[in-house]
Structures are given as C-alpha cells and as structure tokens.
Structure 1
Amino acid sequence: MKHGHILSGVRNAAAAGYFKQGETHMAYLPMAWVGDFIFSIGAATELRFSVNIPEAQETAMHDLREIAPTLYFASPRAWSAMLTRVQVGMGETTGLKRRLYDYFMPRAMAAERAKLDGKASGGKLSRLLGEWLIYGPLRDQLGLSRVERAYTAGEAIGEDVFLWFRALGLNLRQFYGQTENCALAVAQSPEDISLTTVGRPFPGVEMKIDEHGEILLKGDNIFDGYFQNPKATAEALVDGWLQTGDAGQIEPDGQLVVLGRVSEVVETADGHRFIATYIENRLKFSPYIKDAAVIGKGRNMLTAITCIDFQAVGQWAQEHGVAYTSYAELSQQPRIYDLVNAEIAAVNAHLPSGLSIARFVNLHKEFDPDDGEVTRTRKLKRNVIDERYGPIIEALNAGDSEIDFKAQITYENGQTGSLDRMLRLSDVKGAA
C-alpha cells in the first residue's frame, strides 16, 4: 500500500475521534503486522505521537505501567489474559481487598450490562467509592490509568471480558479492518457500544453488503492492489470496491455485524443464510457453555449440540442445590437444561429473523481432541460431529424429546469403547 492510503486512513480515523494529536503510545505489537505499522508509524507520524518501545517482550507489561499510554490496542486474547492475571492476583491477595473487589466489580459489571441494554445504571455513589477503592488502583496496576481510547479487534471478544474492562472505567471499543484497508475502516463510537457489532464506517469510507452477503468497502484508504499479482488484484478490487472476503450485515442503525468468512456461509432449507461459527462463538460467550455445534445447513431449523462448562455449571449447581456425581449426570439435570436454555434464548434475541436456534441437546461429554471432534486449538471438526452425532441431529429435527444414544469413548490407554446414554432433547423457549 502507498503512504497516501495510510495517511488517508489515519485522517479518517482521527476525524471520527479514534486518534488524537500527541497521543502517548506503546509500540509492542508484532512489527510484521499492519496494526503496528499503522499505529506506531502512520498515525504516530501524522499526529505526532510519543512512541515508546518496551525494553523486551518479557518486560512489556511492566513497561506498560511506566509508560502509561493514552491509547491502547490489544487483541481479545490479550485483554482476556490481562483479566486472568487480575483474577489470579485477587485470589492471592488479602481478605479485605478480595472482599472489596467482590463487592464493587459485580455491581459495576451489572451497571455496564444495563447500559448496553438501554437501561438506567444508577449507583453513582457506589461508582465514586469503587473508583477510589478498586477501579482506579486496578487501572494503575495494569498501566491503563491514562488510557482514553482502548480498542480491540481481530476476533470476537467474550462478553464478560468486554464488560469487565468497561466496568473498570475503560471505554473499550471494537473495530474492524484489514491490511488492504490500512486496518482502519469501521469502529464503534464512544457513545454507541454493542457486543454484537463493530460500529460504523469512518468518515471517507463507504460500505455496502453485496447480494452474496459480502462486506464491500471503498475509500482512499483502500490499497491499489497486490504486488506483481494482477489476478489477485482483479479479484479483490471490483469497480473500486474492496471485496473483503468477510460476510456481514448492516443493522437498522447503520452498525456493521461481521459474521465470518464468506466461504463459511451456508443456507437453511428455506434460503436463510447463516454462518455457524458466528452463532457458536456467541453461545460460547456464556460462562456455562464451553463448546457448541450449530446444525442447520439444508434443514428446516437450526439446532445445537452444547457442551456445558463443567467447572462453571458445577459451581452453579452447588450454589443452587443440584446434586450430581459426574459430568454426564450434571449435563442432563432438568435445571441445567433450563440454565442453558436461557443462555441460548439470549443469543437468539440478537439473531436475524428465521435463524433462531429452535432445539438443543446437552451432550453427555465435552468435545474431545482425542476423539477427533475438535482440534488442539478447539476448532470444530464439523464432518466428525455430523457423522458421530448424526442420530442426535436427526432426533432434534424430528422433534423427539429424548434419545438413547450409544456414545463412543476413548480411554487413557488409547482403547475405545461405547456407553449407552439417555439424552434429553429440548425446545428453546421463545424460539421463532
């Protein structure tokens, strides 16, 4: 890409309040990634940033506190890792600090959730006191005490992680971009935050969705083509529009929802397009659902096979007096079905008409890499799921209330066997 594209992208982002002149920035991102170049060189040059470089990768988190940037971008995994570090530290701290944390953070998260739902959050006195006792000190410890603009992008961020940092006092926002558009195309505004969208186009950027559901972008920040590859360039740029390769939809308020790659788009029997991965990721935002497989290609309805999170659901069961002796027994408890049912219904509320999950089953086990159901990085192997759990899928679509399923199991010594399980099949409340 040319310098003019980069500067155009930076100016568009600055016009939207994404950057400001004189930011304090920490250049810690991988140098080969477009994000580092745009933030640390492009924006820094145009807007006269103060760019700070960590002493070493191992000291980056320590240096972050010393630098105290005003602008901070991290991937969802990095934000999640930072939250985990805090939670581990709180588990090892004194009783008083832990009790203060346990009192103020849940209230702040509830207030943020209320804001996202368009409700009054209240609790101003509690917020002021929490700022003094918990939120301010935590931001200082993390090196985020001066951050005015906090961003995340690259993949879906978990609801609890997103809400936690916003509850901490950071105006964390999501954005969407690619190398071909200088990583600066679409972002949430400070006042218009959503868990399911990535915002609206920057000034100077045009956006539309084509008949195949692909996101198309046009603007001076779009590159001129791939180096010495006219064929790929012709495929990526059509009449000045960048074919992003991503599928999306534009909400009535103009915000973009990124669904996934166009290559992953499939259709139900009545022609509704959907991307299973997008829905599965939303289901896994729930602390009670560890894995999920959404089935619906060529079928009359969407159904889901869910795997409960044994630790989170086990804790819930203990607190609510639900007895169990194993994962399999816990997964089939009626109150656990009600719990998961409510989580699926909450996801359905954000899905387009005709794409609600109608029925589901809690599997008797987790998806297991040793059984070939997921990769070691927990990516779903759909062909294995479709084949192994075919009888369950057919029973869900047939409207059955239960199924006697012969489950294949792999023992620690590598030998395999089978085990009969009676699994409940449930309708999702309120599914259209």
Structure 2
Amino acid sequence: MIPRTIETPPADSAGGRGSQGNAASSITETMPQHLRNLATTDPTGVAMQEKRYGIWQPMTWQLYYQRVREFSSGLAELGVIRGDIVAVLGDNRPEWLIAELAAQTLGASVVGIYPTSIGDELTHILESSAARVVVAEDQEQVDKLLALKTAQEAAGLAFGIDTIVFYDPHGLEQYTDSILLDFTEVEARGARALATNSDWLDSQMSQGDVDDIAVICTTSGTTSKPKLAYLSHANLLSMAANLDSIDPITPNYRYVSILPFAWIGEQMLAVACGLLKGMAISFPEDASTQRADMREIGPDIMFAPPRIWESMLSEVQVRIDEAGKLKRAVFGWGYQISDRIAAEAASGRRAGTGLKMLGKLANLVATRPIREQLGLTRMKRCYTGGAPLGPDVFRFFHSIGVNLKQIYGQTEICGIAVVHRDDDISYTSVGTPIPGTEIRFSADHEILLRSSSVFRGYHRNPEATAEAVDTDGWLHTSDAGYLDEHGHLVVVDRLKDVKFAADSTMFSNAFIENKLKFSPYVEESVVFTDGAAVTAIITLDPSTVGAWAEHAKLPYTTYTDLAAKPEVFDLVAEEIVRANEDLSEAIRVSRFVLLHKQFDPDDDEITRTRKVRRSVIAQRYGPIIDALDSGAEDVTVDSTITYQDGTTLSREIPLRIYDLSTYTMPTDAARRQVWSGRK
C-alpha cells in the first residue's frame, strides 16, 4: 500500500476541520497560568466541588488558585525544584489537582499512579520517575509506600522517597514515621513562606514555558511494563483547543470526574479542557454513589472507556428485565421509534414530521427516563475510547438520545487524534482526524499520526522514543487500520497482532474478541487462532448473567458455580453463534470454555484500564489453551484462593469445553433485543 496523508483543511464557521498547528500557535500560557487567569476573571465561579457526607462542597477559582500557590510554596520548602517529578497516588479529589498544578507552578511535572497499583507496578513507576515527594490519598496508599520502604531497607537498599504527603488523615493519627506529612501542613508552611516573599513564587510561575513537561503519563503496558510519556503544556492545551474547535465547551459546562487522573483520558478532558475553558469539575463522594451523584450534577460532557458504557447498558437491561410486561412493552415501542430516528440521523437523513412527533412521545415515555436514571439527561456530548465499543452498544445510546462519539488516540498524542463529528457518526469506525492532526498509513497498514500534541518522548528511554516518533514528527502508533469509503478511520488491532484469513480478510484476535464481547453476557474474551481451530476463553458478566439466571429460576451460589451451569453454556453458545454470523467462515469460533473466575488486574491478567494481557493469559492458562486446541471435552485447572487473613487454599476445578459443531440453535430461538437480557 502506498502511504497516504490526510491533512485537515482550515476550520470554517460551521466547526469544520482545521489545519495542523492552528491551535498550537495560540498556546502561549501554561496550565497554572490559565488557572491564574480564571482566578482573576471569574474569582467566585465554581472551579470544582466535592461531595462529602452527602453535601457538595464547592471551591471557587480564587480559592483553587490560592491553595495551589500555598501548596506550591510548600513543595518548594520540601526541596522540589524545576525539572523534578512529583508522584501522586490516590483517587480523584481536589487535592490531586492542587498537587498537580502546584508542581507545575514550580516547573516540575507530575506522574500519576493508579490507586489500585501494587507491588512491582508501583515500584516500577516510583523508581523510573525517581520522585522524591509522593502525594498519597489515604491510609491504604500510605501503607503501600511504607511497606515498600520497609522491604527496600531490609534488602539494604536506599528508599528514594524523602516525603509522603497524605490528604486524607483518617486512620493515620498514630503513624509516627518521619517521612509522613499532612497535606494541610504543607499548605500551612507554604502560606507562611508566601506571607514574607510571594514575589519568588510569582517569578517561578512567570518562568513557566508551554514547552515545559507538565504531566508524565504511563502507557497501557499490555505487552510490557508501562513506559512514562512526557506531555508538555503545549501538547495538552493544543489538543484541548483543537477538540474545542469542533466540540465547543463553555464555562457553564459540568464534568463529573470518575476515572483516574493517572489515565490520559481524564487529563485530556478534566484537566486540559477544564482549565482552557473554565469548566467546573465535580468529584463523587464514593464509587458506590457515582450514578446518584451524576444524576444530581447532570454533566454536560463525559469521557469513559467502553466498559463504562457496557456496564450502563447492563444496568438498563437488568432494570427493564425486572419491569412488568406493560413497562417492557412501552419501552420496546419507544426504543423502536427512537432507533429509527437515530438510524436516519446516522445515514445523513432527517426524520419526517410524523416520525418526529412519535419521537417526542417516545422520548417522554421511554428514552428520557432511561437517560435520567443514568445521569445523562443534560449530556451535550460524550466520548469513548481506549478499546472498540460494540456497534450495538454504540447504537443503543444514540437511540436513547445520547450523543456518544468514538475517539482514537494514545497517551503519546494526548489521548485523542480522531473523533466522530456530530453530523457524521459511524457505528463501526472511530471518525476523522481532529483539526491540526494528520494521518497516514505505512506500507504494512500501520497508522501514523502527526500533530502539535505528539509527546516529547519517554522518560529515560531515548531508544523507545526514536522508535515511536520518526525524524519527520510522525508518531508510529503500532496499530493497523484503514480508511473506509466515507474517509473514517477503522482500527483493526495492534500491528503485530494483525493476521490474514484464507480469503485475504485482514483481522486480529482482538477483532474476534470484540465481536464476542458485544454480548451483554460476556465480560471478557481471549481468542486463539494459531491452532487447528479458532477457540476462546470466556469470562461472564456476573450482573447480566446473574439477572438472567434469576429470571430463569436457575439457582447458583458463586461466580464459579454460575459459570459451570449447562444452561449458561447454552446461553453463551447461542451468543457466540450470533457473533459468528458477522465473521467470515475461516475465523469463526468453534470451541470455547467458560473460565471459573473473572480476569483480575491484581493478577496481572488485565491492565488497570481493562485491557487483556495476552502473554499472561497464554502462560497462566496454557493447559486450557492446549485442551481447546486438542479437541478434549474438559480440562482440570488448579485454583488458589487467598482469604482476607492471608491463608490460602488450593483446589482442582473441572472445566467443560464446549464444541459448537455439536450445538444446534433452538428452532424457536428469538433474537434478543439489545436493551434486554431476555429473548
């Protein structure tokens, strides 16, 4: 294939596509400098709010800026200087962003660590970044760091961290380790220093340059330990400006922060777009209250990986399946009408007057109540990325009136390079390049990207940097893809994983896996195509399969018990047969096994962003894979259970292997509606 280049034309008044560099040239201030401007122009406006004890606690732009200045001065008292790296470990709270902006004020940068990180993953990031100051959320995170300190000192190694600053003191009152310091104490120290010499901090902020490194984001790490990617203020803010040119954000927009700040997706919208446009950020009280808090706030914009949208659909399916016949019938009618309107819009056509009238009634009695339950009533637009989203799930949200868009990007290009436009949605693509972004394809179908948001390199890894970005500034994504007939980008998979079927169809294991995961009953799937047949390891979605089992009056105790039920095998077999209908005969799944457990990031089976680590799966479940390929009818695996008190129990679990060549679809099998777990 001859490499192709698509350069987006200049933006027009209708929000068209922009040329490369149009936003980058307008980025003249760092993120702390943007915060200073907001504190000056809108001092009493709400910058962020956090829910505590059931009450929303607002923070104005002026107070936000004041706390950033005090904490920044406090960090300077701890010895943080320009070029240093400060690590932040914990859930999303205002203190996370205060610490980030404070470090950047001094010319330092921040590396975020997922709050679920443990062991080697935590050690790798801390040692790679050489951070001497870590801002940790609470007792749980402090305990991880102190355990690491004890282990390294016992091994005769120096612990590289000088200070651990915690921002939730609950449970830490009796801790006496000298490296621990309360967040409020750092602010108090900073406030005292500012009282005698505030000019010094002002000069530090003024010295800030848009090319300074602002954030160091970890890559997904699906095939190796995550790398640390340098992202400058210009990288992040030019991305935000280019996205804003097609999807405008206004200061009255609301955003609910539910994803880790260590992930580029949250840095992309909550931080960069939030500071550029003055958008208010809300923090839910707890993971268990997120949905209720979203309903209270009514966000205008949202970004979430596919698993969030899939879980929302699963929630809808469970609720509707529990409803009475009349409510199910009303929703089914309303959804059918709304789906027709969404299909017309996706085809570039306008619904007729009669259909529009029916659509208003359908919205009133069917789709609006669903949006209200999901907290999406005010939503202007929302995005999904990080992995493919099933066309059926994608279409469902459009059918209930949610303007959901697929995006494509990587940490190395600030999370977004390609996105759908409001009037140009395709359920099987990721859209077209945002203004300022060029795209081309190498001879082996690799996607190449170039823009002002391409990162500045990997921390202490010049070899990997040279492999990622060539001398002409093109980012080599290592993903394979192509443009469809409408000029939309279709991403196939990682380049190394792309294969060609007997009929020359380009595919990958992940392509088949995503087809299987379109089923609401399948949480994860791992497909193997190197043997005599296409086989798969499947894990169940416990909520939807559990609801189905309850409706079918099928008793079960644990996930393992549910996965072993013959009725569940038949349920999943029918779903796989349906998925096979969309695949060429050469790549249809013929044998599968239902795993006795879900994949767990703590077991390194999936990443913190829910991407499967294929190498770990291949090694850990080798006997299952061999049995699938050999034609065996079952396989026995050893499973170790670790209890809360640390004791373990090993047991053997027999797993049945299902051969679809022996499966016959029931003659009365009805195709399941996307909004229901029932037939």
Superposition TM-score tier, normalisation by shorter sequence: 0.7 to 0.9
**Contact 1:359 1:425 (8 Å CA) reproduced:** no
2:494 to 261, 280, 285: 261
| 1:424 paired to 2:656 | no
| Post-superposition offset of 1:293 | 5.8
Q: Could you tell me which residue of structure 2 aligns to residue 78 of structure 1?
A: 308
- Residues 179-258 of structure 1 mapped to structure 2, 5 A cutoff: 179-238=411-470, 239-258=472-491
| 1:42 paired to 2:272 | yes
Q: Could you tell me which residue of structure 2 aligns to residue 344 of structure 1?
A: 580
| 1:390 paired to 2:660 | no
Partner SS, residue 52 of structure 1? strand
Q: Could you tell me which residue of structure 2 aligns to residue 54 of structure 1?
A: 283
Q: Could you tell me which residue of structure 2 aligns to residue 24 of structure 1?
A: 253
* Aligned-CA RMSD value: 4.4
Partner SS, residue 247 of structure 1? strand
Cα 1:24–1:385 shift into 2, 3 Å: same
Aligned counterparts of 1:293 and 1:280: Cα–Cα separation in 2: 6
Cα 1:419–1:137 shift into 2, 3 Å: closer
> Which residue identity is paired with 1:408?
V
Aligned counterparts of 1:287 and 1:376: Cα–Cα separation in 2: 21
Cα 1:282–1:185 shift into 2, 3 Å: same
**Contact 1:112 1:166 (8 Å CA) reproduced:** yes
Aligned counterparts of 2:481 and 2:575: Cα–Cα separation in 1: 30
CA deviations on 1:174-204 (whole Å, 9 max, x unpaired) are 1012222122211011222223211111121
Partner SS, residue 215 of structure 1? strand
> Which residue identity is paired with 2:454?
I
CA deviations on 1:72-113 (whole Å, 9 max, x unpaired) are 222222223333344444456677545433432355346546
**Contact 2:534 2:588 (8 Å CA) reproduced:** yes
| Post-superposition offset of 1:294 | 4.7
CA deviations on 1:310-363 (whole Å, 9 max, x unpaired) are 969x99xx9xxxxxxx96699789xx98985453222x3xxxxxx653554255
> Which residue identity is paired with 2:581?
A
Deviates more, 1:28-37 or 1:86-95: 86-95
- Residues 287-366 of structure 1 mapped to structure 2, 5 A cutoff: 287=520, 294-297=527-530, 303=534, 341-346=577-582, 348=583, 357=586, 360-361=589-590, 363=592, 365-366=593-594
CA deviations on 1:22-71 (whole Å, 9 max, x unpaired) are 3513241322222223322322333x333132252344433323332222
1:140 to 372, 375, 393: 372
Aligned counterparts of 1:64 and 1:77: Cα–Cα separation in 2: 17
Aligned counterparts of 2:364 and 2:655: Cα–Cα separation in 1: 57
Aligned counterparts of 1:112 and 1:306: Cα–Cα separation in 2: 34
Partner SS, residue 254 of structure 2? strand
| 1:158 paired to 2:418 | no
Identical pairs, percent: 30
CA deviations on 1:280-310 (whole Å, 9 max, x unpaired) are 21233145777766554498xx845597989
Partner SS, residue 440 of structure 2? strand
Aligned counterparts of 1:142 and 1:303: Cα–Cα separation in 2: 37
Partner SS, residue 4 of structure 1? helix
Partner SS, residue 69 of structure 1? coil
**Contact 2:302 2:381 (8 Å CA) reproduced:** yes
**Contact 1:27 1:36 (8 Å CA) reproduced:** no
Cα 1:180–1:342 shift into 2, 3 Å: closer
**Contact 1:289 1:340 (8 Å CA) reproduced:** no
- Residues 398-409 of structure 1 mapped to structure 2, 5 A cutoff: 405-409=632-636
> Which residue identity is paired with 1:130?
A
Partner SS, residue 216 of structure 1? strand
Q: Could you tell me which residue of structure 1 aligns to residue 146 of structure 2?
A: none
Deviates more, 1:276-285 or 1:375-384: 375-384
**Contact 2:573 2:660 (8 Å CA) reproduced:** no
Aligned counterparts of 2:494 and 2:234: Cα–Cα separation in 1: 28
Cα 1:113–1:51 shift into 2, 3 Å: same
Aligned counterparts of 1:102 and 1:235: Cα–Cα separation in 2: 52
Aligned counterparts of 2:486 and 2:660: Cα–Cα separation in 1: 42
Aligned counterparts of 1:227 and 1:265: Cα–Cα separation in 2: 29
Aligned counterparts of 1:160 and 1:134: Cα–Cα separation in 2: 18
| Post-superposition offset of 1:218 | 0.5
Partner SS, residue 10 of structure 1? helix
Q: Could you tell me which residue of structure 1 aligns to residue 138 of structure 2?
A: none
1:10 to 240, 259, 271: 240
| Post-superposition offset of 1:173 | 0.8
Q: TM-score, normalised by structure 1?
A: 0.73
**Contact 1:307 1:362 (8 Å CA) reproduced:** no
**Contact 2:274 2:280 (8 Å CA) reproduced:** yes
Partner SS, residue 246 of structure 1? strand
| Post-superposition offset of 1:236 | 1.6
Q: Could you tell me which residue of structure 2 aligns to residue 395 of structure 1?
A: none
| Post-superposition offset of 1:224 | 2.3
* Structure 1, unaligned runs of 5 or more: 319-325, 349-354, 393-404, 427-432
> Which of the two has higher C-alpha Rg?
2
* Structure 2, unaligned runs of 5 or more: 1-230, 553-563, 640-649, 664-679
| Post-superposition offset of 1:221 | 1.5
Aligned counterparts of 1:84 and 1:152: Cα–Cα separation in 2: 17
Q: Could you tell me which residue of structure 2 aligns to residue 149 of structure 1?
A: 381
Q: Could you tell me which residue of structure 1 aligns to residue 157 of structure 2?
A: none
Aligned counterparts of 1:204 and 1:339: Cα–Cα separation in 2: 42
| Post-superposition offset of 1:121 | 7.3
> Which residue identity is paired with 1:25?
R
Cα 1:220–1:180 shift into 2, 3 Å: same
Aligned counterparts of 1:27 and 1:329: Cα–Cα separation in 2: 40
